Amino acid sequence: MEFLSATCQALLLVVFGAAVVGKVQGAASFAAFTDAVAVLGRVPAGRAGPLAAALVGAEAATAVLLAVPRSRGLGLLAAAGLLSAFTYAVARALRSGTPVSCRCFGASAGPVGPPQLLRNAVLLVAVAVALPGVPDSGGLPWQGQFAAWLAGATAALVLVVGDELVSLLRPRPAAPENGSPRPLPEEAPPWSTSP
């Protein structure tokens, strides 16, 4: 159980760290995240900036808490709270049909959808699995700790680039046989009365 707990702690630490780095790596990344926060949080544009900054700060604090052995329990609770809030916001956007780009890691411009809900569910399960092993996480030998952190970091990498992986694997529309672009269907003018 200690190995699995340490693996999940590493997974969460890397995911939250990557989320922070992705959002603050440049002004454009933070601005895009702020726009997503305005839509997902249903807040006015003037309040979205401070809320986005607070969320990035909470993610950074969560990563720090997860990195320090004595505070991992608090880090896991913070992770559970943030992930629950993010999951609720994504589910609400999907339910209402609100189109918004997923800026969870700053870069992806793909729309939020079931993959983000699945990713959050995996991360919430990781929190639940990690919690029981927190008091004993120092009981693993260094080889076990290394293997657990390597496994957790690898799993985190898959989750972080998951949006891009999904878009690569998504089937693309077939090109016409002659290689020319497919013409767009003509739309009837708005004043047309024909069905």
Is residue 88 included in any domain, yes or no? yes
Q: What is the pTM of this model?
A: 0.78
Tokens 């992930």: give the residue. 83
pLDDT at 170 exceeding the cut of 70: no
Rg (CA), the chain: 21
One-letter amino acid at 132 equals P
Is residue 169 included in any domain, yes or no? no
pLDDT bucket at 16, cuts 50 / 70 / 90:
very high
pLDDT bucket at 172, cuts 50 / 70 / 90:
low
What is the number of structural domains in the chain?
A: 1
Is residue 181 included in any domain, yes or no? no
Neighbouring residues of 169: CB distance < 8 A, sequence distance ≥ 6: none
Is residue 195 included in any domain, yes or no? no
pLDDT in tens, 91-136: 998 898 878 877 777 666 677 888 888 889 999 999 999 887 665 5
Is residue 52 included in any domain, yes or no? yes
Is residue 174 included in any domain, yes or no? no
Report how far apart, in Å, the C-alpha atoms of 92 and of each of 7, 11, 104, 106 are.
31, 26, 16, 21
* Angle at the Cα of 86 from the Cα atoms of 80 and 88, rounded to 5 degrees: 100
Is residue 92 included in any domain, yes or no? yes
Tokens 């880090």: give the residue. 75
Is residue 186 included in any domain, yes or no? no
Provide the domain limits for residue 140.
2-164
One-letter amino acid at 146 equals F
pLDDT at 181 exceeding the cut of 80: no
